[in-house]
């Protein structure tokens, strides 16, 4: 795994390790979303993200779900 993305792992409990503190998940989500945004405007960043299978897996299975949960416009309040 690239050390560049090592801060993103693990986001779910793995054997012998505890999950990240809940207070850190929001920060990880914002950083990851910023990488996606920067990748849309920078071909080098985009290429690096697309070449990293761990990023693709994390983006697909974790980040997109977190973005759905954190989207306040989809919350059904009151």
At 36-58, the pLDDT tens digits run 999 999 999 999 999 999 899 98
Q: Are 38 and 45 in contact (CB under 8 A)?
A: yes
Number of domains in the chain: 1
- pTM summary value: 0.65
- Between 61 and 13, the more confident residue is 61
| Containing structural domain, residue 56 | 3-74
Mean pLDDT of the chain, nearest integer: 80
Q: Tell me the C-alpha distance between 11 and 24, whole Å.
A: 10
Angstrom distance (rounded) from CA 3 to CA 1: 6
pLDDT of residue 1: 44
């Amino acid at each position: 795994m690239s050390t560049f993305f090592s801060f993103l792992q693990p986001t779910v409990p793995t054997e012998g390790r505890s999950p990240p503190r809940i207070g850190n998940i929001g920060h990880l989500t914002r950083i990851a979303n910023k990488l996606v945004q920067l990748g849309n405007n920078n071909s080098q960043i985009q290429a690096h993200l697309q070449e990293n299978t761990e990023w693709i897996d994390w983006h697909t299975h974790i980040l997109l779900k977190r973005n759905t949960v954190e989207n306040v416009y989809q919350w059904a309040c009151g």
